[in-house]
Amino acid sequence: MTPLKNLTIKKFNEGLVKKDFSAAEIADAFLREISRKDGEIGAYLSINEEGALREAEAVDASLAKGEKIGPFAGVPIAIKDNILIKGLRATAASKILENYTASYDAGIIKKLKNERAVFLGKTNMDEFAMGSSTENSAFKMTKNPHDNERVPGGSSGGSAAAVAADLAVAALGSDTGGSIREPAAFCGVVGLKPTYGAVSRSGLIAMASSLDQIGPITKTVQDSALLFNAIRGQDALDATSTEIPGSENYIRELLDPDLKKIKDLVIGIPGEYFPEELDETTKKSIDVTIKTVQSLGVKFKKISLPNTRYALSCYYIIMPAEVSSNLARFDGIRYGRKTEGVQPATNLKDIYFKTRGEGFGNEAKRRIILGTFVLSSGYYDSYYKKAQQVRRLIKNDFENALKEVDAIMTPVTPGPAFKIGEKTEDPLTMYLSDIFTIPANLAGLPAVSIPVREKKEGLPIGFQLIGKAWREPDILGLGFYYEKTTAPELYEN
């Protein structure tokens, strides 16, 4: 029986084809491991035991008949609880959706069902993806598998913790301002935010529609490329999704990186991402990584992204405005939320006040109120319109810089995972956790968080690679080359 630790998508597929184990054996082993460990970690909100075993057994039956299977057949995957799977609860970690069962599959779930992936369950998150620590979940606290007194990051903290704790081979999360990359960095796994539009958002419970993007959380960069390739592409139910230009060459580059081409890349280092306030351990770790990548023959160049300093302010105007619009649909009626107050509601307005007041948590309320304010008459031009203009300047900075370099390397977070409760009383300090990840969302660019592999002890630290639009193969190829050099054991059978 193959141990679950360090089991990757690639290793699982190879072992399954060679009959080292069956899909049902691995699915059952993961479910037992979840039962044993997740009470302490809290990665999952719900478990899909019956469905997971049924699909795993069906994959084994196909193999027994001599049928060919794809690279994701039987692979046990965890899904963030704001992504719809037909027939399973989808709460977005909010009381207002506590009783909602999805009536259809998200676009990416349809793709993975066609690939015959096994869905182990739905993972915990910050309510409606609003947070950087998974402390805003209405249901439970998720703990960092490397230190149970610390947060796993957010908002995809449950997905990152599940992969890091070997409670899933891989997972899916969503990233609006760093919600895949930050928890990946805190938990020591790989997290990819694809180019905006590269992956369908159909069936993703929306937070901020011009920023949201679904992406993979995996144990290796190679797995990230494999899972991204499985979910990417145009979807008729998402008008912002598109087929990636030059798809055939793109897939070849993505799944089989050309070492010579990777060595020819020029990586930009923006001074604005290395302020004096940057945690010293993080700075040293990134410096070591830069030296390691340089030793592989990759060139570096100093660049400037001057409008980066406005990104956080810009984001916290645009994002709440879109939150206010998107969350207006959750009235507590359509999705079955019942008020718990003693006095029954007497009119429609009363129903809304009671259901939304009880159903939304504090952070959701804060962002709805802020978003409603910046969109209100007399303030729209002063705040929302101005923020969109600044967003254009930030995007221009990236476009100009990426004419000189092929990708950009930065820290993912100002420091390693912080302690549970450390920042909950100060929202602004919490928001600053995403200061290095937000700009890529505003610009719509692909970005990946990769663990610093040279660091052998202490809490995980990640570095970020930001690429040109539709150039995931550049950042994943470089990450793959780095991992193969610094952590070859990840790719050994």
Question: Is 173 strand, coil or helix?
Answer: strand
Distance (Å) of CA 483 to CA 137, 156, 387, 465: 33, 23, 38, 14
- Please state the pTM of the whole predicted model: 0.96
Local confidence band at 337 (pLDDT 50, 70, 90 cut-offs): low
Where are the chain's structural domains?
Answer: 9-264
| Per-residue pLDDT at 350 | 81
Q: Which of 179, 241, 285, 324 is catalytic?
A: 179
| Per-residue pLDDT at 346 | 77
289-300 burial, b at 16+ Cβ within 10 Å, e below that, comes to bbebbeeeebeb
| Residue 336 confidence (pLDDT) above 70 | no
Bridge-partner residues for 235, per DSSP? 238
| Residue 341 confidence (pLDDT) above 60 | no
Percentages helix, strand, coil for the chain (3-state, rounded to 5) are 45, 15, 40
Local confidence band at 10 (pLDDT 50, 70, 90 cut-offs): very high
Q: Which of 94, 155, 285, 324 is catalytic?
A: 155
| Residue 339 confidence (pLDDT) above 70 | no
Number of neighbours of residue 415 by Cβ within 10 angstroms: 17
| Per-residue pLDDT at 342 | 45
> 138-181: per-residue pLDDT in tens?
999 999 999 999 999 999 999 999 999 999 999 999 999 999 99
Q: Which of 10, 80, 111, 455 is catalytic?
A: 80
| Residue 101 confidence (pLDDT) above 50 | yes
Q: How far apart are alpha carbons 12 and 18 in whole angstroms?
A: 10
Amino acid at position 93, single letter: A
Output the furthest CA–CA distance in the chain (Å, rounded).
Answer: 71
> 294-314: per-residue pLDDT in tens?
999 999 999 999 999 999 999
Number of neighbours of residue 147 by Cβ within 10 angstroms: 17
User: Is 80 designated active site?
Assistant: yes
Which residues are CB-contacts of 389 (< 8 A; sequence separation ≥ 6)? none
C-alpha gyration radius of the chain: 22
Q: How far apart are alpha carbons 213 and 314 in whole angstroms?
A: 18
Contact in structure between 470 and 245 (CB atoms under 8 Å):
yes
| Per-residue pLDDT at 340 | 55
User: Is 200 designated active site?
Assistant: no
Domain 9-264, CATH: 3.90.1300.10
Number of neighbours of residue 428 by Cβ within 10 angstroms: 9
